[in-house]
Amino acid sequence: MSWFESIVLGLVQGLTEFLPISSSAHLRLAAVAGGWEDPGAAFTAVCQIGTELAVLIYFRKDIARVVSAWFRSLTDRSARSDPDARMGWLVIIGSIPIGVLGLTLQDAIEGPFRDLRLIAVNLIVLGIILGVADRMAARDAGGGRHRAVRQRKELDQLTVRDGLLYGLCQAMALVPGVSRSGATITGGLFLGYRREAAARYSFLLAIPAVLASGGYELTEIGGEDTHVSWGPTILATVIAFLVGYAIIAWFMRWISTRSFMPFVWYRIGVGVVLLVLIWFGVVEPHAGEEFDTPSEVTTGEQAAGW
């Protein structure tokens, strides 16, 4: 991976991680558009550490309060009724599905799930589902001629059941094209939570999963079987952090007054265009995966007598 590639991919990661449009899909598509090798699941996971650091800083007060209350609840039974302590437990519970499925489906995540046809379908299907959920939220908030305004839930009303369902939605994002924030926000809207509440819990829920995944994949960077080295990866991660922080601030302001429909139409548009390009043979479903890895090059050179 060149330094230029790392800059572009870092920008893409920062711009798309918190929007419901799938950062992993956009990293894959950016590489295809540039004629580069697929950055791979390991680079994506490590680069996401940068955007997750942006979450830690942006929500630092919330996180500090939750962590403090959670630790108190370990020894103080009365502290367990604190909403912040409950939030800590619910984030842990909600992280279980993606942890289990991430380890179980690791080979598929690094291989078949990166097929561009699957990514395109996921962009379209999850975009439509997000659109339906968003319309439900708008209808509840606006009421109607023969319908009263329905009060949507806040995070302090989060239950264990809802926490697990959020977690299952997040686990869907193991497949590029789904979107971690898109899946969890969609789940939250269907469960009856306000847009801001759904987005806030989505970001908090992602912290353990992203940091664990990035830490797990650290050993894959710079290995013999990958084209991704440490220097470009670190640069991409730093860029993703800086851009991601700005995107969080903008996104939280956006959803307080506007709907998710622009992202819905964007997802559907990108998915349809990608399917059309694949249908007419302009783009191959496995584009970027055909590049030789270092180990394959070595084998070829040995066969040629080098």
Query: Domain spans of the chain?
Result: 3-280
Looking at the chain, the whole-number percentage of residues with pLDDT higher than 70 is 90
User: 83-104 vs 195-217: helix axis angle to the nearest 10?
Assistant: 50
β-partners of residue 144 are: 147
Q: Given this model, what pLDDT does residue 15 score?
A: 94
> How far is 188 from 259, CA to CA, in rounded Å?
14
> How far is 74 from 288, CA to CA, in rounded Å?
48
91-92-98-104 Cα dihedral, nearest 10 degrees: 180
Res. 242: pLDDT tops 80: yes
Res. 292: pLDDT tops 90: no
Q: Are 17 and 243 in contact (CB under 8 A)?
A: no
Q: Given this model, what pLDDT does residue 128 score?
A: 96
Q: Look at phi and psi of residue 196 and say left if phi exceeds 0, alpha if psi is from -120 to 50, else beta.
A: alpha
73-77, 148-152, 180-184, 295-299: which is most confident: 180-184
Q: Give the position of tokens 């509840």.
A: 140
Q: Record the tokens describing residue 255, joined without a space.
A: 């959803």
Q: Are 91 and 66 in contact (CB under 8 A)?
A: yes
**pLDDT tens, residue by residue, 202-213:** 999 999 988 888
Q: Record the tokens describing residue 300, joined without a space.
A: 């070829």
| Segment among 54-58, 59-63, 151-155, 281-285 with least mean pLDDT | 151-155
- Which of 187-201 are b and which e, b meaning 16 or more Cβ less than 10 Å from the residue's Cβ? bbbbbbbbbebbbbb
3-7-10-15 Cα dihedral, nearest 10 degrees: -170
Res. 243: pLDDT tops 90: yes
**pLDDT tens, residue by residue, 180-225:** 999 999 999 999 998 889 999 999 999 998 888 888 777 777 666 6
User: Kindly report the CA angle at 286 between 285 and 287, in degrees rounded to 5?
Assistant: 100
Q: Given this model, what pLDDT does residue 65 score?
A: 93
| Segment among 24-33, 100-109, 129-138 with least mean pLDDT | 100-109
Mean pLDDT along residues 7-33: 93
Res. 47: pLDDT tops 60: yes
Mean pLDDT of the chain: 85
More confident call, 142 vs 250: 250
- Other beta carbons within 10 angstroms of residue 219's beta carbon come to 9
Q: Give the position of tokens 């598509």.
A: 29
Q: Given this model, what pLDDT does residue 226 score?
A: 67
Q: Given this model, what pLDDT does residue 143 score?
A: 59
**pLDDT tens, residue by residue, 105-151:** 878 877 788 899 999 999 999 999 999 999 988 887 665 555 555 78
> How far is 92 from 90, CA to CA, in rounded Å?
5
User: 180-190 vs 195-217: helix axis angle to the nearest 10?
Assistant: 140
